[in-house]
């Protein structure tokens, strides 16, 4: 399955979770529900995956945590904040670079309009 096909299923699942739970819950609640939705669609989903940081021959094994990793191809970074800031976008871009993955999705569930709070990031295409 391509990243685009996975992304389509992820977006569908995000809307399903938002319709069921609404805004204002903790990120962990959305993570639990989204993982369930994606698995029910037949996708392999891992949560809270350790991402190492490598620097000049040194490695910190558990430097970062990916919220969700779908089919070992797409990172989902979940937020439940007042507004998404530039640093949230940069965080996902950095995760993509560190993991050498191509596609990531940033979503803020604490929003009145979910459509405006889902962001697709492609490794190598950011400015």
The string of pLDDT tens digits covering residues 8-41 is: 999 999 999 999 999 999 999 999 999 999 999 9
Residues facing residue 37 across a β-bridge: none
CATH architecture designation of domain 3-122: 3-Layer(aba) Sandwich (3.40)
What mean pLDDT is predicted for residues 106-110? 98
- Please tell me whether residue 58 adopts helix, strand or coil conformation: strand
Domain locations in the chain? 3-122
**Would you state the structure tokens that stand for residue 102, as one six-digit string?**
């191509």
What mean pLDDT is predicted for residues 103-111? 97
Measured at the alpha carbon of residue 89, what is the angle toward residues 116 and 64, in degrees to the nearest 5? Answer: 130
Quote the pLDDT of residue 127: 46
**Would you state the structure tokens that stand for residue 84, as one six-digit string?**
């998404």
**Would you state the structure tokens that stand for residue 70, as one six-digit string?**
């779908």
**Would you state the structure tokens that stand for residue 68, as one six-digit string?**
């969700």
Quote the pLDDT of residue 124: 80
Q: What predicted TM-score, i.e. pTM, was given to this entire model?
A: 0.93
The mean pLDDT value of the chain amounts to 95
Residues facing residue 76 across a β-bridge: 68, 105
């Amino acid at each position: 399955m391509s990243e685009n096909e996975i992304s389509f299923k992820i977006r569908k699942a995000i809307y399903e979770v938002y319709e069921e739970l609404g805004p204002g819950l903790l990120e962990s609640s959305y993570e639990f529900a989204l993982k369930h939705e994606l698995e029910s669609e037949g996708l392999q989903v891992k949560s809270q995956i350790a991402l190492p940081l490598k620097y000049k021959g040194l490695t910190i094994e558990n430097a970062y945590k990916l919220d969700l990793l779908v089919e070992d191809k797409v990172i989902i970074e979940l937020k439940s904040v007042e507004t998404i800031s530039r640093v949230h976008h940069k965080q996902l871009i950095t995760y993509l670079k560190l993991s050498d993955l191509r596609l990531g999705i940033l979503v803020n569930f604490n929003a009145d309009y979910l459509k405006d709070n889902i962001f697709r990031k492609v490794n190598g295409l950011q400015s």
